[in-house]
Amino acid sequence: MNVTITARTTVATGVVALTLKSADDLPPWRPGAHVDVTLPNGLTRQYSLCGDPADQEWRIAVLLEPSSRGGSSWIHSEALEGTTLTVSEPRNLFDLVAAERYVFVAGGVGITPILPMIAEAERSSIPWTLWYGGRSRSTMAFTDDLEALGDRVHLVPGDTGGRIPVAEVLGTPEAGTAVYCCGPAPMVEAVEDACRAWEPGALHVERFVADTPRDGDAFEVHCAVSGVDVRVEEGVSVLDALLEAGVEADYSCTQGFCGTCETRVVEGVPDHRDDYLDHSAPVDTMMICVSRSRCGRLVLDL
């Protein structure tokens, strides 16, 4: 589905919000939903919808990643008003469940899926509190709107307020309360630790999908089907090295979350860096867009 950017606003240092409209009716969505945005450069990125589900327009907010590989940097430099983008139907892996009250914990641009959740809680007159952290106030988006909601909102800029006192905020489990956390991995892990004593299912988390670092030593890949050998240098993904060598491989997100590039490993030990596979048990496949190797040579079923 194609949408057009009808407004673009800088909502914090390094964060732009885009309003998206379609000539056709946009599909419905619920708080916590995201859409895949396919950019003209072929990359696909996921962004939470952060506007009002009742509106016939969507809003996303995009943080400029310092190590962007063409996703957020393209949006920041090229996605101007009037630009057309291709988007997926909304999908929701972070749905707002019914609860007697909510505790929301957000870090940085992780505030985006939380905004419609707060609006929904307000509409339903369900009590809530928000703890929202960021590097500094200027990097935290939508702070004025949030502060207007009163003392249920706790803003914690890192440079003046330190860190969200997660253990204190979540130290005592409360029956009927649902906790929603979206932010960088260390914040999510701290919240998970603090909620160990809570009822199963009380905590709902969503981690950032950031551009995955490709650091790590170079290694060799042998393609068992085509017979092609490639060297994967540091800073280059297996996928890019294979495509460069003319090997056909499917891919979409290039960030390790969609599963399109899943490839069977015939020999060798991958260094898994994806967010798609369940790594609690051994797997014989790898996501070649982000994962690397723990040994000098991998043999892949390609």
Considering beta carbons, is residue 184 or 259 the nearer one to ligand FES? 259
Instruction: Single out the segment in contact with ligand FES by CB under 6 A; choices: 23-31, 109-117, 138-146, 248-256.
Output: 248-256
- Is residue 265 near ligand FES by the rule CB under 6 A? no
Whether the Cβ atoms of residue 39 and residue 27 lie closer than 8 Å to each other:
no
- Is residue 71 near ligand FES by the rule CB under 6 A? no
Tell me the closest approach of the beta carbon of residue 235 to ligand FES, in angstroms.
17
Cα separation, 101 vs 123, whole angstroms: 13
DSSP state of 255: S
- Is residue 46 near ligand FES by the rule CB under 6 A? no
Instruction: Single out the segment in contact with ligand FES by CB under 6 A; choices: 52-60, 170-178, 192-200, 258-266.
Output: 258-266
- Is residue 226 near ligand FES by the rule CB under 6 A? no
- Is residue 254 near ligand FES by the rule CB under 6 A? yes
- Is residue 258 near ligand FES by the rule CB under 6 A? yes
What six digits make up the tokens of 176? Answer: 């009927």
- Is residue 260 near ligand FES by the rule CB under 6 A? yes
Whether the Cβ atoms of residue 185 and residue 205 lie closer than 8 Å to each other:
no
Tell me the closest approach of the beta carbon of residue 284 to ligand FES, in angstroms.
16
Instruction: Single out the segment in contact with ligand FES by CB under 6 A; choices: 2-10, 93-101, 182-190, 247-255.
Output: 247-255
Cα separation, 281 vs 273, whole angstroms: 15
Task: Write the DSSP string, 30-41.
Answer: -TTEEEEEE-TT
- Is residue 287 near ligand FES by the rule CB under 6 A? yes
- Is residue 103 near ligand FES by the rule CB under 6 A? no
Q: Tell me whether strands 297-300 and 262-267 are parallel, antiparallel or unpaired.
A: antiparallel
Total interface residues for ligand FES by CB under 6 A: 14
Tell me the closest approach of the beta carbon of residue 45 to ligand FES, in angstroms.
11
- Nearest CA among 6, 1, 134 for reference residue 59: 6
* Helices of type H across the chain: 72-78, 111-123, 143-147, 158-161, 166-170, 185-194, 238-244
For residues 47, 50, 54, 57, the Cα torsion angle rounded to the nearest 10 degrees is: -60
- Is residue 38 near ligand FES by the rule CB under 6 A? no
User: Of all helices (H) and strands (E), which one includes residue 221?
Assistant: strand 219-223
Tell me the closest approach of the beta carbon of residue 35 to ligand FES, in angstroms.
15
> Using CB under 6 A, which of 253, 286, 300, 302 touches ligand FES?
253
**Site of interaction with ligand FES (CB under 6 A):** 251-254, 256-261, 274, 276, 287, 289
